[in-house]
Every structure is written in structure tokens, then in C-alpha cells.
């Protein structure tokens, strides 16, 4: 003997009333979140403010087209990595020059202590207005970056490079001391702290990184980047810059 399953079907009027109650509860929740955490803490994805992404040109038309939005996105973390002398800093400086053309304030944290102002000027950078810092330690560099980002006044901030962000403990120690994972932990902590400020202030932060070779790799690429894996995950755009050939004019390169 089978037992009949009875299902109560709500009327259209009851469904509309239930929907109104849910919308009312949702509006109250959004209002409370806005009061506690500020405007824009939660919103519908279809709202215009959430959909529009501003960009800054790289100075290269083909690269801008490849990126899909006409350049690099503002309010995001960008990683530019590659082998030595491949044009990483040149690309970053071109972005700085493009941002300055639109009236943006730009900063350059020169952890490598190797920025050439003459070369930067030739690329179109207004070196007179460029904010520059040459920190002694990785902690100092990232604290300076945090302060500049939170000011909300900087359009583009370049950090050159991740490999040169040396932890204070390593600098104060002796040559040959082992400091396993210090830089990776420093980068992971810094990115957790910086990400929300970067998005809120619409600041583009460009990390220039170097490549290293992994030991004992039999299959796949032996290349990796310094500073651990955190930057890979937090970056909205990662660009591998390297030389693929030489431009020749008859016999001259």
C-alpha cells in the first residue's frame, strides 16, 4: 500500500509576500554592513561601479590589445618577471610615463638601488615629479609602499624588485647565515595587508621580479620566481618578459 505524498502549493500572493520579506531582510543586512564597513562593502556584481575597470596604457599598442582592456588594470597587483636585461624595468617606467601624462602621481621603490634617472627621462618619465625611495630593508620598503597606497594619492607604484626585498634579519646577520623562508613569509604577510588598500584606493602596484632555477627538476620548466608563491596568487596580471630575437638592419643589430 503506497502512501500519497501531499505537497502544499503556495499561492502567487503568498510567494510575492515571501519575496518582499526576503528583499526587506536583505536591504536591512546591506544597510547594516554599509554602516559598519562603509559604502561599497557589498554590492551587486551588475552595478556599474563594480563592472568598470580603469586601465593605464603600457606604451605598446600590441601589448595593450593583448591585455584586452587597453592596458594594465588600476587597483590591482601586477607582476612583471623575466631574465636579466629583458626590459622589465623599461616596461614599468613606460607605464609610469603614461600615468603621468594623465596627471597621475607615481612612485618608484628602488630596492635594487639601480634606477637610472637619465634613462627614465628618455622613456618619457617626469623625473622631477616621480616619488622615489631607496629603502635599506624589505620591511622598510613594504611599509613605505603601504603608507603611499593608503594615502590614496598615488596612481602607480613600482617596486623594483621582489628579489631585492631583503628581510631585516638577513641584513643584520652574517654572511653564510641561513634564513629559510623569511622573504616568502614577508611577501605573504605584506600582500595580505596591501591588497584591500590597493583595491580601495584604485592604485596600480607593479612588482618587478627575477627568475631563479629550481634544483633537480627533470620534467617541466625549471624556472621559478623569487619571493615565494603569494605574489603569483595575488597578481591580477603576470607578464613574462624576455628577449626572443634581435632586430637587424642588414648586418647591424
CB-based contact 54:74 (threshold 8 Å) = yes
CA-based angle 244:250:253, to the nearest 5? 40
Cβ neighbours around 158 below 10 Å, total: 26
**φ/ψ of residue 51, rounded to 5:** -90, -35
> Quick one: pLDDT at residue 172?
83
Instruction: Go through the chain and tell me how many residues it has.
Output: 253
The domain defined by 55-240 folds into Rossmann fold (3.40.50)
CB-based contact 56:95 (threshold 8 Å) = yes
> Quick one: pLDDT at residue 112?
93
pLDDT band, residue 89 (cuts 50/70/90): very high
Q: What is the pTM of this model?
A: 0.81
pLDDT digits (tens, 9 = 90+) for 194-246: 999 999 999 999 999 998 888 888 888 888 888 889 999 999 999 999 888 77
As a dihedral over the C-alpha atoms of residue 32, residue 36, residue 39, residue 42, rounded to 10 degrees, the angle is -60
> Quick one: pLDDT at residue 189?
94
> Quick one: pLDDT at residue 9?
61
> Quick one: pLDDT at residue 17?
87
Extract the C-alpha cell encoding 57.
596604457
Give the residue from 165, 195, 208 showing the smallest Cα distance to 183. 165
The rounded distance, in Å, linking the Cα atoms of 243 and 237 is 19
> Is it the case that residue 1 has pLDDT exceeding 70?
no
Cβ neighbours around 39 below 10 Å, total: 9
> Quick one: pLDDT at residue 248?
75
Give the residue from 79, 58, 80 showing the smallest Cα distance to 68. 58
pLDDT digits (tens, 9 = 90+) for 28-71: 998 899 888 887 778 777 765 555 789 999 999 999 999 999 99
pLDDT digits (tens, 9 = 90+) for 137-182: 999 999 999 999 999 999 999 999 899 999 998 888 877 777 778 8
Q: How far apart are the first and last CA of the chain?
A: 91
CB-based contact 63:191 (threshold 8 Å) = no
Extract the C-alpha cell encoding 238.
603576470
208: β partners: 80, 160
The C-alpha R_g of the chain, in whole angstroms, comes to 25
What stretch(es) of the chain map to CATH 3.40.50.300? Answer: 55-240
> Quick one: pLDDT at residue 5?
62
> Is it the case that residue 184 has pLDDT exceeding 60?
yes
Extract the C-alpha cell encoding 96.
609610469
Amino acid at each position: 500500500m503506497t502512501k500519497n505524498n501531499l505537497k502544499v502549493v503556495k499561492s502567487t500572493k503568498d510567494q510575492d509576500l515571501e519575496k518582499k520579506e526576503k528583499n526587506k531582510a536583505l536591504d536591512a543586512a546591506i544597510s547594516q554592513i554599509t554602516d559598519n564597513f562603509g559604502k561599497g562593502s557589498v554590492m551587486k556584481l551588475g552595478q556599474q561601479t563594480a563592472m568598470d575597470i580603469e586601465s593605464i596604457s603600457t606604451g605598446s599598442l600590441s601589448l595593450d590589445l593583448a591585455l584586452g582592456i587597453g592596458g594594465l588594470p588600476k587597483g590591482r597587483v601586477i607582476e612583471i618577471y623575466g631574465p636579466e636585461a629583458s626590459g622589465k624595468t623599461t616596461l614599468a617606467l613606460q607605464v609610469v610615463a603614461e600615468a603621468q601624462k594623465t596627471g597621475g602621481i607615481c612612485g618608484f621603490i628602488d630596492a635594487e638601488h639601480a634606477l637610472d634617472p637619465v634613462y627614465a627621462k628618455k622613456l618619457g618619465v617626469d623625473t622631477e615629479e616621480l616619488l622615489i625611495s631607496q629603502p635599506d630593508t624589505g620591511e622598510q620598503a613594504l611599509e613605505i609602499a603601504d603608507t603611499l597606497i593608503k594615502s590614496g594619492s598615488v596612481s602607480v607604484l613600482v617596486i623594483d624588485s621582489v628579489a631585492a626585498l631583503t628581510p631585516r634579519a638577513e641584513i643584520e646577520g652574517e654572511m653564510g647565515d641561513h634564513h629559510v623562508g623569511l622573504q616568502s613569509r614577508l611577501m605573504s604577510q605584506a600582500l595580505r595587508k596591501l591588497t584591500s588598500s590597493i583595491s580601495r584606493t584604485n592604485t596600480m602596484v607593479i612588482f618587478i621580479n627575477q627568475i631563479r632555477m629550481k634544483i633537480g627538476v627533470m620534467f617541466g620548466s625549471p624556472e621559478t620566481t623569487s619571493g615565494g608563491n603569494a605574489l603569483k596568487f595575488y597578481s591580477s596580471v603576470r607578464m613574462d618578459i624576455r628577449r626572443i630575437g634581435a632586430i637587424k638592419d642588414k648586418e647591424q643589430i
